[in-house]
With several copies, the nearest count.
Chain A
Amino acid sequence: MKLLYFAWLRTKLGLAEEEVTLPETVHDVADLMTWMRDRGPLYAAALANPAVIRVAVNQIYARPHHPVTASDEIALFPPVSGG
């Protein structure tokens, strides 16, 4: 599974993308967020406040119960501020 990070999530984590092996416990976006926070203090801190994290699965905004699979491109980013 490909993970992408943008804006302050990218700078806080110190990386723009990574390949991870999808754990068997992760079936949807909510599972993914829970698992991500357990990956270490850096992830736990960056993802502490779900209100400021948006998730896109294959470039489409996804809600907590949206399924995720090993072949997905998953992006995590803060609320947008363009325009």
Chain B
Amino acid sequence: MSVRVQREDFDVGRELESLSRGRPGVGAVVSFVGLVRDMVSERPLLALELEHYPGMTERELAAIDAEARRRWPLETVLVIHRYGRLTPGDRIVLVAVASAHRNAAFEACQFLIDWLKTRAPFWKSEETTAGSHWVEAKAADDAAAARWGAPEITCG
């Protein structure tokens, strides 16, 4: 497993290639790339500021990764998440999974990004012409994570 939290961009082709190189049992590589869109709430987005909790982020991503490996037979898992200032078109996150068969790779990749979105301590602040505001967690993301039986994390 491999988890990276970084300010810099990443090379998707090189990263995906590394998932299967030297692993002749890999028959399927499924990946998700999340990108900054140009519009939010019908306003042009100028920039996104991604804050995170160093230490806990890596720990939580490693836990999500371990959970995926417990559920599916995977050869390799890679999660790269950026932080800092990003602008429309920039890559935010890469989740990639290599497995012998495609169904495990698809399911695990979707599981990883669903859990990451509800558990990994990242917060987005959006800068538009109307100013900056913190992005609220989405009910749709909670619902997506709930499909996989995610544990609750409210503090009450």
Give chain A's interface residues, CB within 8 Å of chain B.
Answer: 4, 6-8, 10-11, 29-30, 33, 50-51, 53-56, 59-64, 75, 77-83
| Contact A29–B117 (Cβ < 8 Å) | no
> Which of A33, A50, A80 sits near B120, CB closer than 8 Å?
A80
Q: Mark B121-137, 1 if CB is under 8 A from A, else 0.
A: 11111000000001111
Give chain B's interface residues, CB within 8 Å of chain A.
Answer: 34, 50-53, 55-56, 59-60, 81, 92-93, 113, 116-125, 134-138, 141, 153-156
Chain A positions within 8 Å of B137 at CB level: 78-81
6 more contacts with CB within 8 A, not counting A78-B123, A83-B93, A83-B120, are A6-B51, A7-B134, A8-B123, A82-B81, A82-B121, A83-B117
| Contact A83–B116 (Cβ < 8 Å) | yes
> Which of B123, B153, B156 sits near A82, CB closer than 8 Å?
B123
The contact sample of 28 A-B pairs, CB cut-off 8 A, is A6-B51, A6-B123, A7-B51, A7-B125, A8-B123, A33-B155, A50-B156, A54-B153, A55-B155, A59-B53, A59-B55, A64-B156, A75-B53, A77-B53, A77-B121, A78-B136, A78-B137, A79-B118, A79-B137, A80-B118, A80-B123, A81-B135, A81-B136, A82-B120, A82-B122, A83-B34, A83-B92, A83-B120
